[in-house]
Amino acid sequence: MRCVRVWFKKMGMSRYVSHLDLMRAMTRALRRAKVPLWYTEGYNPHPYITFALPLSLGMESLCESMDMRIEGDSTNEEIFAMLKDNMPPGIEIIKVSDPVFDPKKITFGEFDIFFDCEGNSDKIVGLINGMLSQDELIVQKLGKKGRHKVLKDINLIEFIKDYSVSSFGERVKVSVILPAGSTTNVNPSLLADEIQKRADGIAYTLIRKQLLTEGMEQFA
């Protein structure tokens, strides 16, 4: 028995698939592909499958990973071949590898936010740069107070590790690195929603580009 890490994209309409439904879909795909899964022992055996960092509903991703335990001596290349044609729509297997980092090492995420500007790209770029060059950008983040969920004011500027703003055609792209992990997690939709509000409701798309460790190494 050994552990392997399956890397996949979650794009298009699959971004509306919840984490629970994704787990079910991937389990069915693994069985359909006849991957030699290792099952837990006990009264209710089930395959050992875990995801590094569940993706927010409505967000696309280029860097999703799923760890699983397999039996036998199948290579990573053979597991990839089994899986690549058995995925649900919008899920594309990128590679299969041996795990390098523990998912607990994930500290940051790099995200791309694409805004549809309809000819106002220069104006939107100026607006965003103005927002992010200030000392404060107060937004409301859902948190906990005891057993209750409450909205808390946070200064988003304090959490942004790095960012860039660029335009091409009628679209503007904001690339931003934010905390993403079990200790501190800041959803990029907080930034996207604030820009959207100040830019008269322009539409946006969110993509998780990569996950990073505390030392800014790419999670592998």
Nearest-angstrom CA–CA distance, 48 and 30: 12
> Does 2-99 match 104-213 in CATH topology?
no
CB 65 within 8 A of CB 7: yes
Question: For residue 172, what pLDDT is reported?
Answer: 96
Q: Give this prediction's pTM.
A: 0.92
How many alpha carbons fall within 13 Å on the CB side of residue 98?
A: 5
pLDDT value for 114: 97
CA-CA distance, 60 to 45, in Å (whole number)? Answer: 32
Q: What is the CATH number of domain 2-99?
A: 3.30.70.580
Residue ranges of the domains in the chain?
A: 2-99, 104-213
* Whole-number pLDDT of residue 119: 79
Q: What are phi and psi of 7, to 5 degrees?
A: -105, 135
CATH topology of domain 104-213: Pseudouridine synthase (3.30.2350)
pLDDT in tens, the chain (220 residues): 899 999 999 999 999 999 999 999 999 999 999 999 999 887 888 899 999 999 999 999 999 999 999 999 999 999 999 999 999 999 999 999 999 999 999 999 999 999 998 878 999 999 999 999 999 999 998 877 777 778 899 999 999 999 999 998 889 999 999 999 888 999 999 999 999 999 989 999 999 999 999 999 999 9
Provide the angle, in degrees to the nearest 10, between the axes of the packed helices 121-132 and 189-198: 120
| pLDDT value, residue 82 | 96
